Structure 1
Amino acid sequence: MSAAKLKITLSLMLAGFCLLGQAALAQEDNLHRQSSVYEAPQDPLVIEKLEDWQDLKFGMIIHWGLYAVPGMIESWALCSEDWINRDSTFTYNGFKDWYWGLKDEFNPVDFDPDQWADAAEAAGMKYLVFTTKHHDGFNMFDTQQTDFKISDGPFKDNPKADVAKYVFDAFRKKDFMIGAYFSKPDWHSQYYWWSRYATADRNNNYDIRKNPWRWNKFKEFTFNQISELMHGYGDIDILWLDGGWVRPLETVNDEVRAWGARIPEWSQDIDMPKIAKMAREAQPGLIMVDRTVHGPYENYQTPEQSVPEKKIDNPWESCMTLGHAWGYVPNQNYKSVTKVVHTLVEVVAKGGSLLLGVGPTPEGLIPDEDVKRLKGIGDWLDVNGKAIYGSRTVDFYQDGDVYFTQNKKSGKKYAIKLIAEGDEIPDLISWSSEQPVDGKKVILLEGNKRLSVTENHNTFQVKIPNAVKRRIKQKEALVFEFEN
């Protein structure tokens, strides 16, 4: 194929990938709901760290890999399933060869993890989850198990070629909890997608029962890579394992079947007890998040691109994108600051944390538009964070567009009134007397204004004087502190 034709073909492909990205989000929205069964950890160190994590409430997940180079959906275009669309003029094998070849182009010369950490801090975030490896198998750390890694391409001579190390260090300097995202499936590994056979879908493509040696090599490969992360990258607080179809066959249930993907007749068991034992010996108290797999290694649950309908009492986290894609794509369809603030409030009032996704450019920077919106979220939290950080749920947690939280130490409660985008601040804020106010006084956090409360027809009402309204800058949501 000539260079000109290749350029035109790739342009058409990338235009299609924007639609593919949106389809993938819709698909993943159905695939990665939180598990309906929760098994609490028994290790006292894990319980303690999980309690600390629940205080943080707001984190950043960063998807960065080969897919940033063309600005396309992460990994999924490699997968041959009905919902995946690729340019029909490109053969499947030709596409895979092109994708794997992006390794030779990925040279993020402007890589600046401090810029990432600054943006997260400005947003009011408190913990990080970084993709050390996505399903495509490309490693963003200096693994010794394969040469399919950022540190074995044109970036290898850069002082920061071991990308994950520098990302973790930059966020540690700001006292963030550190999470390592790791994909259990690896579509580049010959031990998972064996080139002897076609790659039909996301699952491994050979019968493990007939090829036990090959699967045991994959288990060894996976164990060794996770061990590298646990032993060579400083203190890790969270091991965030994705790819929930890689699991023991006996754990497959109706939730998994609802994903719509093929379920092999064999078990894709990678021996999680062995991995967990090794990981927690290296990182005592490590929170493990074996997403969508019930049991002792799913220490908190992770609904994706959604918020549960009701309050959940066990630890959980909604993972969502700031734009429409997890990684970098041009012309993102961004959520507004108001939308993110409202989502954060709802998630926290229902007992969860919000993990917000951004994708650095192929050069290694978080885009300016992401940074701007993150700063807007942080501005709201600078004023109103007392209602979010260190909070826990209350029994009566919502009355329409008013949500309630409680500080776990002080016992003070907070009423958070969401203001729809473009709406004016109302003169009167009211909520049901099911959430009573002691002393008939509340404090509006912005400006530390003490306001009177009246009770009328089973509702508490707070009148906001015009002089107070004029001084309010963070109009996404108003927060009132009170006791009861």
Structure 2
Amino acid sequence: MKNTYFRALYYSCTLSFLLASGAVSAQQHSEQNHAHYVTPKDSLVRQKLAHWQDIKFGLLMHWGTYSKWGIVESWSLCPEDEGWCERRGPYAANWYEYKKAYENIRTTFNPTEFNPERWATAAKDAEMKYVVFTTKHHDGFCMFDTKQTDYKITDPKTQFSSNPRSNIAKEVFSAFRGKDFMVGAYFSKPDWNTPSYWDPYFPPKDRNVSYAPKKYPQKWQQFKDFTYNQIQELMTDYGKIDILWLDGGWVRPASTIDSTISWQRTIPYDQDIDMARIAGMGRSKQPGLLVVDRTVTGEFENYVTPEQSIPDTYMPIPWESCMTMGDSWSYIPKENFKSSRKLIQTLVDIVAKNGNLLLNIAPSPEGDWHPEAYQRLQEIGAWLRVNGESIYGTKPVAPYRQKQWAYTGNGKTKYQTYLPAEKETVPTSITLNNVAKVNKPTVKLLGYAKPLKVSKTTEGLVVALPEPARQWLTTQPAWVFKLEEK
């Protein structure tokens, strides 16, 4: 029965928000069979996972030297004939010249407006509860003071290295930890800068390791050790870390490749980096650490991460939709931000299906966000301060999502949230259904202090909406009705 459910879920998980700049990743992280999810055995991990599921709403930040050019993160280095890998600019015609120029961006990368406390304050005011920051993307540039490579933010060749806050990841983690956030380290398993992954003798043909690991086991062991040592640094020297969020799902054991999934069929080699060793080390230094080895179903994917998409139905395992506030994961000068209305309704939809929302904002090369990003967070926070009790610490309630309704609850308290269409007229009454099991309920409209008149019919509970309540709702992106048993 469970496998039948998950097969149906696998085929129903749609790319509702697929965007050109992240098309490859969205395909990879949404086209996934979750039938073999493994519940963590470690009680501390289970405890932290339960807390993470309660806090619902987090911030993701993609930031690196690529923001200087205003281009897609890392992917223009990938020699694949795909739209998301397209090179532009004066070096585009020659991949070798392009890679050299790309890696030279560091010499002018100088985000002097970097102020992570401002970000943490804005995220806190938006009622976000956790953060995931890119310590290293696929291009290999490290936003932390690793000792394993000089391709990093603190190296003298990088202009920002002379700044007293040059160890950016440490500063970000500290600022958000100071606001009581759970802290997550995004880390790319592939590394397109290190010669033990893209060997200069074997020019890369695609995103994968450029040589056969089985034929060159010593070189592959060098890469495994390089990866282990970098993650060990993050787990040792950067304070309390709650989540290790690993990207680059093609770096995986051959035994985990699912031939029914199109993108996994293209992985040419076994790329096992020994996740048991990495996770064991991480949890010895960070007890209860959540490990998110994205798309590699099994014991090291503590929660699954559909990207730029929301499952069509309730999913009973821990999951998180990672989505962009605008159109791009990385900074672009003119961003097309989603409305706060859209973002709030997205959060409600996800929570009713048992998920979390991890919302990405991309810092600029100067080290700040677009003004619109701050505005969206203010508007989301204003709604959550009134209606957050229907989100945080709740569980989905059947039927979860039905037409424009979302259902959540906390014990005997139930919430029915209506998601109005743009400019929808507020009616004089509204009917709450699926209330048969609620014994003598009282109904409140969150944000409206006065009691409401309620009558029971065969259709459900008919709630009268007086004119002041209707005026209130005209400004609200989602209407939350609270039902409590007497």
* Contact kept? 2:257, 2:264, Cα under 8 Å: no
Give the aligned partner of residue 8 of structure 2.
none
When residues 435 and 343 of structure 1 are mapped into structure 2, their CA distance, relative to the original with a 3 A threshold, is farther
AA at the equivalent of 1:62: M
Give the aligned partner of residue 461 of structure 1.
462
* Contact kept? 1:41, 1:47, Cα under 8 Å: yes
Residues 1:447 and 2:448 aligned together: yes
Residues 1:292 and 2:289 aligned together: no
SS at match of 2:263: coil
* Contact kept? 1:247, 1:267, Cα under 8 Å: yes
Aligned equivalent of 1:197, options 202, 220, 231: 202
AA at the equivalent of 1:429: I
Residues 1:142 and 2:145 aligned together: yes
Residues 1:177 and 2:179 aligned together: no
Residues 1:377 and 2:380 aligned together: yes
Residues 1:24 and 2:21 aligned together: yes
* Contact kept? 1:119, 1:374, Cα under 8 Å: yes
* Contact kept? 2:425, 2:474, Cα under 8 Å: no
Give the aligned partner of residue 430 of structure 1.
431
* Contact kept? 2:111, 2:365, Cα under 8 Å: yes
Aligned equivalent of 1:337, options 316, 337, 340: 340
When residues 260 and 290 of structure 1 are mapped into structure 2, their CA distance, relative to the original with a 3 A threshold, is closer
* Contact kept? 1:399, 1:431, Cα under 8 Å: no
CA distance in 2, matches of 1:150, 1:322: 26
Aligned equivalent of 1:281, options 276, 281, 284: 284
* Contact kept? 1:401, 1:417, Cα under 8 Å: yes
SS at match of 1:151: coil
* Contact kept? 1:446, 1:472, Cα under 8 Å: no
Q: How much does 1:435 deviate?
A: 5.7
Aligned equivalent of 2:262, options 258, 264, 269: 258
Q: How much does 1:474 deviate?
A: 4.8
Q: How much does 1:444 deviate?
A: 0.6
* Contact kept? 2:131, 2:184, Cα under 8 Å: yes
CA distance in 1, matches of 2:183, 2:296: 22
* Contact kept? 2:426, 2:474, Cα under 8 Å: no
AA at the equivalent of 1:71: G
Q: How much does 1:232 deviate?
A: 0.3
Q: How much does 1:355 deviate?
A: 0.2
Spell out, residue by residue over 1:386-424, the C-alpha distance to the aligned partner (whole angstroms, 9 max, x if none). 0000011112212310111012xx431101011222223
CA distance in 2, matches of 1:253, 1:435: 43
CA distance in 2, matches of 1:430, 1:354: 28
When residues 378 and 35 of structure 1 are mapped into structure 2, their CA distance, relative to the original with a 3 A threshold, is farther
AA at the equivalent of 1:27: V
SS at match of 1:90: coil
CA distance in 2, matches of 1:411, 1:114: 38
Give the aligned partner of residue 10 of structure 2.
none
AA at the equivalent of 2:188: S
SS at match of 1:147: coil
* Contact kept? 1:441, 1:452, Cα under 8 Å: no
* Contact kept? 1:440, 1:453, Cα under 8 Å: no
CA distance in 1, matches of 2:412, 2:280: 37
Aligned equivalent of 2:130, options 107, 127, 131: 127
CA distance in 2, matches of 1:125, 1:104: 34
CA distance in 2, matches of 1:353, 1:260: 26
Q: How much does 1:63 deviate?
A: 0.5
Spell out, residue by residue over 1:83-132, the C-alpha distance to the aligned partner (whole angstroms, 9 max, x if none). 13224952111211111110111111111001111121121100000000
AA at the equivalent of 1:249: A
CA distance in 2, matches of 1:139, 1:435: 55
* Contact kept? 2:258, 2:265, Cα under 8 Å: no
CA distance in 1, matches of 2:426, 2:99: 53
Give the aligned partner of residue 402 of structure 2.
399
* Contact kept? 1:64, 1:131, Cα under 8 Å: yes
Aligned equivalent of 1:225, options 221, 227, 230: 230
The 10-residue stretch of structure 1 (293-302 or 82-91) with the greater mean CA deviation from structure 2: 82-91
Give the aligned partner of residue 368 of structure 2.
365
CA distance in 2, matches of 1:433, 1:149: 55
CA distance in 1, matches of 2:33, 2:238: 30
The 10-residue stretch of structure 1 (35-44 or 432-441) with the greater mean CA deviation from structure 2: 432-441
Unpaired segments ≥5 residues, structure 2: 1-17
Q: How much does 1:330 deviate?
A: 1.4
CA distance in 2, matches of 1:317, 1:241: 14
Spell out, residue by residue over 1:7-30, the C-alpha distance to the aligned partner (whole angstroms, 9 max, x if none). xxxxxxxxxxxxxx9423233221
SS at match of 2:239: coil
When residues 472 and 99 of structure 1 are mapped into structure 2, their CA distance, relative to the original with a 3 A threshold, is same
Give the aligned partner of residue 208 of structure 1.
213
Q: How much does 1:35 deviate?
A: 4.1
Residues 1:416 and 2:378 aligned together: no
Give the aligned partner of residue 314 of structure 2.
311
When residues 382 and 396 of structure 1 are mapped into structure 2, their CA distance, relative to the original with a 3 A threshold, is same
Residues 1:57 and 2:56 aligned together: yes
Give the aligned partner of residue 45 of structure 2.
46
The 10-residue stretch of structure 1 (432-441 or 201-210) with the greater mean CA deviation from structure 2: 432-441
Residues 1:386 and 2:389 aligned together: yes
* Contact kept? 2:257, 2:265, Cα under 8 Å: no
Residues 1:92 and 2:89 aligned together: no
Aligned equivalent of 2:168, options 154, 163, 166: 163
SS at match of 1:254: coil
Q: How much does 1:333 deviate?
A: 1.4
